[in-house]
Amino acid sequence: MTQHDPDDGHGRSPTAATRRTLEIITAFAFMLLGSLVMWDSHRIGAGWTEEGPQSGYFPFYIGLLMNIASLINLLKALRANREIPFVSRAEIRLVLAIFVPSLVYVGFMQWIGLYVASAVFIAVFMRWQGKFSVLKSGLTGVIVSVILFGMFEIWFKVPLIKGPIEAALGF
């Protein structure tokens, strides 16, 4: 529990989401995915020809099965009267403390490249979450990125996302 979360009298942080709510959201998400699979399969051909099934035939029925299973799960979740906590506010903050910086890291990769983004990500994370010194955090980020650059770009000859710094250095 964090300092900012009042507890419910039993030492627990308030609920951020219930199990029922997450089951409903998950059922809708899988129904959307199943519908997308069915639509795309129909677009490329989901029928049967003289040569046999078209390329979308089996994926179409997989999408249909996904929708049926999701509908069953949705109906079960809607009928259930259980407000079991799925995650507390304190727990969701811990998850977001990892997820949001990771999302920012992936987003910045396309502009500054994998290696610079990785160096910054490692350094910031070590400083923020690990409370390491700025020097240790910065050195670790740079050293890890240089090693990864050498391993992938030079040794394995596998080009990865590069940014303006690597381009300025001729890579």
Domain residue limits, the chain:
15-88, 113-168
Chain segment 106-130, per-residue pLDDT in tens: 999 999 999 999 999 999 999 999 9
Tokens 């109906």 locate to 75
Query: For residue 97, what pLDDT is reported?
Result: 94
pTM for the complete prediction? 0.64
Task: Report the DSSP beta bridge partners of residue 53.
Answer: 48
The answer to whether 97 touches 85, Cβ cutoff 8 Å, is no
Tokens 């940014």 locate to 163
Tokens 């995915």 locate to 33
Rounded-to-integer distance, Cα 27 and Cα 68, Å: 10
Rounded-to-integer distance, Cα 105 and Cα 72, Å: 38
The answer to whether 45 touches 56, Cβ cutoff 8 Å, is yes
